[in-house]
Structure 1
């Protein structure tokens, strides 16, 4: 049955001979899987895939890295972070470079790991770099809840949590349809996507297997030819209409909406999350009285344009030259979900 679905989807895709279609894969994991599975090789020239802002490390602004470096070097905080963030360039240095100057940086695999580290090292002030979309935010909230319940006073979050709804609206004219991120909508459900149809926004939620992605592309092509806005959940084994109520409850208890800066997209109102007043003791910006920081990105880097679908990574003059995974100029080359790293790893001149 799976082979039949795959073959049928492939036939639909390869037989398309209509006007140019632009499909934005919002999720960075989709970008990498589409490359890894060789899907771009089979697309006709009139179907273009463009990468969107669905890489949390990529959309985190330079100023956030500067704040983390400041906490580590000026306030002697122990920074707990996912590995990708260590190599993302700040205005002056990355966290990795700060570590060479004496900063204490611990790699963790979850916010709960950071909480456990703080519990075991009460003599250290521990800050977890809370970066991510709806998928990872509940775990950050849970770590704060556990810290408060345990009476910890040496644990805090530096938040750069973001939510996708307003980003979809900002980018709606960048593509004919979205491949929505499956993991995000496993948390928030499908109601948003359904409502966006009324605003003329089309898209499909899909998973990460070859059959799921191929089916989603075939659905997009078929639906676009009908000339009406649409939404289809092609990932029903994981994504439901209501999403994860438990995750939604813990986030709403501990965090609230705020304006947020996205690399390349600027300030998007109410597209971020911050700790509520009742949890301000765990907010690193409040706890350490951080000044407002305006980061300065390398002018040679076009990460911002890549994240908006305005260009592809090989269009950047430093791609593969001054900017490589070993020596990244921008976040999109660092992250395992970044478009630049996908193009570099799998071949930058492939169609789409």
Structure 2
């Protein structure tokens, strides 16, 4: 172990001669950064990086896009959304397609922008598409609290926020080591990751710079060779054991857990978030008495398999041919955090 400490993270990775190991990049940003920084080229052949469900746009089911289109076309609601959701395919069309049919789709950079838009346009009903994990959920909650303070009634959320614990449980056994997303753990803390070790799940929390990613991967390889489940926080400058108590309190005040559908993983009990009853005036599904909408994904798309680490994007028959960033068949090719877009941008050979 002393000898390992004297070697740089890069040297540990390049000279790894231990057993075969599968490391899952839970976070889509990790996938993109590892590609962009050329880290994959350093890995020995027995070290395999596989993608996971850490892209919020990618795991959001087709039915959510269909719900947003329903609001836009049937209820004439102005949809405020981040740009990467606009081209995600629904059952029949994307939000971009709905816009061509007259729907009002407004791109924003935060839920606060959407709330301000609603305040400045009282003649419009405005719904923000609230998609994301623990990192972005607090911002949606803040926008609802601000709407209440501003006394506006034309603002609501269509919620598809999810939490990671259920996904980790669902993915147990799919990888030898999880590369945990540092920004999520900055909110949640590391207690869950420590508890998962007792269930035989190993992982390291990683940051996003080259040094942080190399360090996390090197630590993972050193600890994996010891043959016992482990957890290491390799992002201590941002991530603490307790996480952000303030953000946790805010979310708990406005939201509660619910069952949620994940693309590829199906319904994961308790893995979603919804507004509590006392805040239901801002819940678009209740406000507009929305019917149950069942989405239908394109059968040619293998996004679900990619998100579970069952295949690489390049294993999909439509990847890079029918499915491209300009003409995406699935969400993983659209999102800036999607594994398919990363493979397409940096390594179409897979």
Q: TM-score range by the shorter chain?
A: over 0.9
CA RMSD of aligned residues (A): 1.2
Runs of 5+ consecutive residues of structure 2 not aligned to the other structure: none
Measured after TM superposition, the shift of residue 13 of structure 1 is 1.2
Structure 1 residues 270-320: Cα deviation after superposition (integer angstroms, max 9, x where no partner): 000000000000000000011111100000000000000000000000000
Tell me which residue corresponds to 1:218: 218
1:293 counterpart = 2:293 = yes
Q: 1:80 maps to what in 2?
A: 80
Q: Deviations over 1:14-67 (max 9, x none)?
A: 222222100001000000000000001111100000010000000000000000
Q: d(CA) in 1 for partners of 2:81 and 2:158?
A: 10
Q: Distance in 1 between matches of 2:242 and 2:21?
A: 30
| Cross-structure match for 1:303 | 303
Match of 1:277 in 2: 277
Question: How many correspondences in the alignment?
Answer: 347
Residue matched to 2:107:
107
Q: Which residue of 2 aligns with 1:89?
A: 89
Residue pair 1:163, 1:272 contacting (<8 A) in 2 also: yes
Matched with 2:192 is 192
Higher deviation after alignment, 180-189 or 15-24: 15-24
User: Shift of the alpha carbon at 1:150?
Assistant: 1.8
Match of 1:67 in 2: 67
TM-score (norm 2): 0.98
1:52-100, CA deviations, whole angstroms, 9 ceiling, x for partnerless residues? 0000000000000000000000000000000000000000000000000
Per the TM alignment, residue 123 of structure 1 is displaced from its structure 2 partner at its CA by 0.4
**2: distance between equivalents of 1:146 and 1:166?**
30
Deviation of 1:8 after TM superposition, in Å, equals: 1.1
* Moved >4 Å (runs of 4+): 4-7
TM-fit CA distance, 1:7: 6.4
Which secondary structure does the structure 1 equivalent of 2:8 belong to? helix
Kindly indicate whether the alpha-carbon contact (under 8 Å) linking 2:19 and 2:225 is maintained by their aligned counterparts in 1: no
Q: State the secondary structure of the residue aligned to 2:195.
A: helix
Q: 1:7 to 1:324 in 2, by over 3 A?
A: farther
Flag the 1:234–1:118 CA change in 2: closer, same or farther, 3 A. same
User: How far, CA to CA, are the matches of 1:41 and 1:348 in structure 2?
Assistant: 14
Q: Is the 8 A contact 1:188 1:248 kept in 2?
A: yes
